[in-house]
Structure 1
Amino acid sequence: MSVEALLGGFDPIVAIMLLGASFVGSFITVALGIGGGSLLLAIMASFLPPAALIPVHGVIQLGSNLSRAAVLFRKTHWPPVAAFAVGSAIGAGVGGSVVVNLPPGIVLIGIGVFVIWSVLARPPAWLSRFPLLTGLISSFLTMFFGATGVFVANFSKSLRLSREPHVATHAVLMTLQHGLKIVVFGMLGFAYGPWVGFIAAMIAAGFLGTLAGRSVLIRMSDHGFKRALDVVLVLISLRLIWQGIGAL
C-alpha cells in the first residue's frame, strides 16, 4: 500500500494532524470514558468531504471501539448488550431508509440539554431498564450526526459500573452501533475502497491511543473517573448546544 493511500490524499501535515487526533481521541475515550469520538469528528469535519465524513468516521470509530473492547473484554457487563444490539439494528435501518426533516440544530440542542440534565440530576431510570430503546434512538441519530457516544455513555453511566467495566461495556455497545452503521451506508452505495489505507492508518493510531489511555485508566480512582466523566460530558454537551444554536 502506497504512502499516498495511507495519507488519504491529504497533505502530509494534515494527515499527521488527523492521525494525532485519532490517537488523542482514543486516549481520551479510554482514560475518561467518553469524548474522543466527538473530538475526532469535529477535527475530521474540517478536512473530509461532507459525503464521506460520517461513513469514514464510523469505520475509524469501529476500529477504535473494537480495540478498546478487546483490551478490556473481560470487564464487560453483558446483560444489556443483546437488547441494545436489537434496538441498534432497528434504529440504523430506519435511519438509513427514511428522509429526516427534523432540523439538525434541534436534535443537537435536545441531546445536549438531556445529557447535562442527566449529569446534574440522577441518570433517568429508564435508561438502565430499556437498552433496546437506547440502542434504537442512538443508532437512528448516528446515521445523521455521527457521534452519539455521549448518549450511549449516559446509558452506561446509569448502570452504575466502576471505571473499567464502564469503558469496556461502552466500547462493546459502540462497536455494535458503528458496525451496523457501516453496513447500512454500504447498502446505500457509499464506496469505502478509496479510503481503506487512510482508515487503516487512523485505526492503528487509535489503537496506540487505547493502550496509552488504559495505563491512565487503571491508575485512576473510581471517584476521580466519575468526576472527570461528568466534566467531559458537560463540556461536550455545551458544545453540542452551541452547534445547534449556530445551525438554527
Structure 2
Amino acid sequence: MGLGMMALLLAVMVGTSLLSGIFGMAGGLVLVGVLLVLMPLPDAMALHAVTQVASNAWRAAFLLRHVRWRIAGAYALGCILATAGWSLFLWVPDKPLALIALGISPFLLKLLPAAAKPDAARPSHGTACGIASMSLMLLTGVSGPLTDAFFLGGRMERHAIVATKAVCQMQAHLLKLLYFGAMVADPGQLDPLLAGGAVLASMLGTVLARKILDALTEAQFRRWAGRIVTAIAVTYIAHGSWLLVMT
C-alpha cells in the first residue's frame, strides 16, 4: 500500500474514532465500509478489528467509572457462544452481501414488537444481543445497529452507554480478530506499520471526542445517534446493491 493511501486511511481512522468517541457508535460502520472498498475482505476485517480494539479500549479507560460490568459480562458470554458456533463453518461472505446485510439490520430491528425490544438491564437480553451482534460482526465486520439498539432502548445515560458499549465492542473485536486472523481459510494479512498507525489514530480520535460528549445533552445524543446510523445504513444498502448489479 502506498504512503498516500496509508495517510488517507489513517485520517479516516481519526475521524471515525472521533465519531465513536462522541456517540459510542457509527465510527466502526463508516470505517469498515471504507476498508471493504479499498481492501480484500479478510484483510479489511483484520485491520478493522485492530483499530476497533484500540479505540474501544482507550474509550473504556477514559470512562471506566461509567462501565456497567454486569451488562458487559452477559454480552461477552453471547459473543463467545457465537464465535464458537461460527468457527464450525468458517464462512466469509462476499462484499455485496456483507454490505447489504449490514445496511438492512437497523431497519429489521424497527419491525420488532415492543415486547421484544432489547433491555440492557436483563442478563438474558445481554447474552442474546451478544450472540446476534457477534454473528453479524463475523459476517459483516461490525454489529453497530444491533448493539446500538440494545443500549439506546433502555434508560442508561450517555456516558454509561459509551463506556459499557466500548467494553462490549472491545471484547467482540478481539474475538473477530482471532476469527479472521487464525480461523478462516484465507486469513487477513496485517501491515505492521499500518496497524501501528491505526492504533495511534484511533487513540487520537478518542481523546478529541471527550469534550464534545460532555457538552451534549441526552436528547441531542440520542437524536443524532439515530440519524447517523440510519444514514450510514442507507449508504451501505446502496453501495452493496451497486456491487451486486455490477458483478
TM-score, scaled relative to structure 2: 0.85
Which residue of the other structure, out of 32, 35, 38, is the alignment partner of 1:41?
A: 32
Give the distance between the partners of 1:108 and 1:177, measured in 2 at CA: 16
Decide whether aligned partners of structure 1 residues 123 and 236 sit closer, same or farther in structure 2, where only a CA change above 3 A counts: farther
CA-to-partner distance for each residue in 1:150-181, whole Å, 9 max, x for gaps?
21111111232111111111111100101111
Instruction: Name the residue aligned to 1:125.
Output: 117
**Contact persistence 2:99–2:140 (CA under 8 A):** no
Contact persistence 1:143–1:181 (CA under 8 A): yes
**In percent, how many aligned pairs have the same letter?**
23
Q: Is the 8 A contact 1:25 1:36 kept in 2?
A: yes
Task: Tell me whether 220-229 or 127-136 shows the greater mean CA deviation.
Answer: 127-136
CA contact (8 A) 1:112 1:240 kept: no
| AA matched with 1:167 | V
Q: Any stretches of 5+ residues in structure 1 without a counterpart?
A: 1-9
Larger displacement relative to structure 2 (93-102 or 42-51): 93-102
Aligned to 2:154: 159
The structure 2 residue matched to 1:222, chosen from 184, 207, 218, is: 218
Instruction: After superposition, give the CA deviation of every residue in 1:98-118 in whole Å (9 maximum; x if it has no partner).
Output: 155995476345413124558
1:88 aligned partner, one-letter code: C
1:78-137 CA distance string (max 9 Å, x none):
22111111110111222232155995476345413124558xx96943443311111011
Matched residue type, 1:31: I
- Can you list the C-alpha shifts for 1:36-58, whole angstroms capped at 9, x where unaligned? 01111112223223331112211
Quote the residue 1:5 is aligned against. Answer: none
Match runs of 1:87-236 below 5 Å: 87-98=78-89, 104=98, 107-108=101-102, 110-115=104-109, 124-128=116-120, 129=122, 130-188=125-183, 194-236=190-232
Match of 1:238 among 215, 225, 234: 234
When residues 50 and 216 of structure 1 are mapped into structure 2, their CA distance, relative to the original with a 3 A threshold, is same
Letter in 2 for 1:158: G
Size of the alignment, in residue pairs?
Answer: 237
Please tell me the residue identity of whatever aligns with 1:154. A
